[in-house]
Amino acid sequence: MDKPLECIILSKTLSRLPLCIGSCSAVEIPSYLDNNIPRGCLIAHLALTLIEMQRISSYFRIPLYNLFTQYSVEDYSKINVDSCWKFLLTSSFLHDIGKLTDQYINRYATGQDRILHHQVSAVIAKKTLENIVSEPMALGIAYGILFHHEAMDWIAVEKSLLYFSYIQRTLSPTRNIIYNLSERRLNKFKENVRNIFDQCFDEHLLTESQHQTLTLMLARAAQKLIDNREISINVTRELSVAKMENPKYLTPALALYRLLYLTDNRAASARELYWLELIQGVDWKRIEDIARQITNKLAKRYRYIGLSSIPIRGR
């Protein structure tokens, strides 16, 4: 099969092909569904999301740190900006880790019950980070991940007679979720993502501390996926949803959600034509016309990427 566009863009960014083990991971681990057909490569998508977060880290590290710390001074008194950011970076791969479940990959082929992958991702993120960071930070990251498909969730609310609110759709409080998981698929995912972390470190896209933290959290997340498969999960209870009303948890979560939403969409643009290639055609000398040019360049489905609001620096 042809390499997914996400892999091609990633290979350009890393200056070489990703060092995947064995056959192409995209066959078993797609990143999205197009007309119910699995496509893309989840590993490449998550790597691109990580790289996008690092590209704009200088603009967001301090504001996010301030938001997380000002609502929980005692919890974060021993965490500096860099330490906070390396844990926020884990959202780059945790936000879609629910796509590894059988229910996501095979749901149309097998008729299995559909589950929202960002629900699984949020629960696994919380379980991965708890006892490593403070509860407000673990829940803040989990909430940010839970919200990252806000646009799609709102569309579902608008079209359905079953949902009366966004929160009802996002949390599905009336039923539990159960997922299955192939250990073979998970092990392949874990090994190949770890190899890409190594490549990112070799090419100075990650610091040593970031590389160590991401590698450790990847191993923990994989184990949490195994530990919680075939178990009835109540998302409302697992994510302590009553705490969403507390600014201590919600305020930093919303800021992280916005960053994750933007970087996730930037990474997803590689499925058509990568946003960075699109804006090469913008005539930056026509300053009065730049916004319109960017709007015209972006594919309709990526209209929320917000290129005009997020500057880009070199690697």
Question: In the Cβ-directed half-sphere of 231, how many Cα atoms lie within 13 Å?
Answer: 13
pLDDT at residue 76 greater than cutoff 80: no
DSSP category for residue 2? P
Mean pLDDT of the chain: 82
SS3 108: helix
The pLDDT score that the predictor gives to residue 153 is: 64
- Taking alpha carbons only, the member of 179, 182, 186 closest to residue 218 is 186
Cα radius of gyration (the chain): 19
Pairwise CA distance, residues 212 & 54, whole Å: 16
Q: Which two tokens stand for residue 241?
A: 């949803």
More confident residue, 111 or 104: 104
pLDDT of residue 181: 93
The confidence score (pLDDT) of residue 168 equals 65
DSSP string for residues in 32-50 = EEETTEEES-HHHHHHHHH
pLDDT tens profile 51-61: 999 999 998 99
**pTM score of the predicted model:** 0.85
Cα-flanking dihedrals φ and ψ of residue 208, to 5°?
Answer: -60, -40
Backbone angles phi, psi at 38, to 5 degrees: -65, 135
The mean pLDDT of 214-225, rounded to a whole number, is 97
Q: What are phi and psi of 17, to 5 degrees?
A: -65, 145
What tens digit of pLDDT does each residue of 270-300 get? 888 787 777 777 777 777 777 777 777 665 5
Is the pLDDT at 110 greater than 60? The verdict is: no
pLDDT above 70: percentage of residues in the chain: 79
For the chain, the domains span 5-273
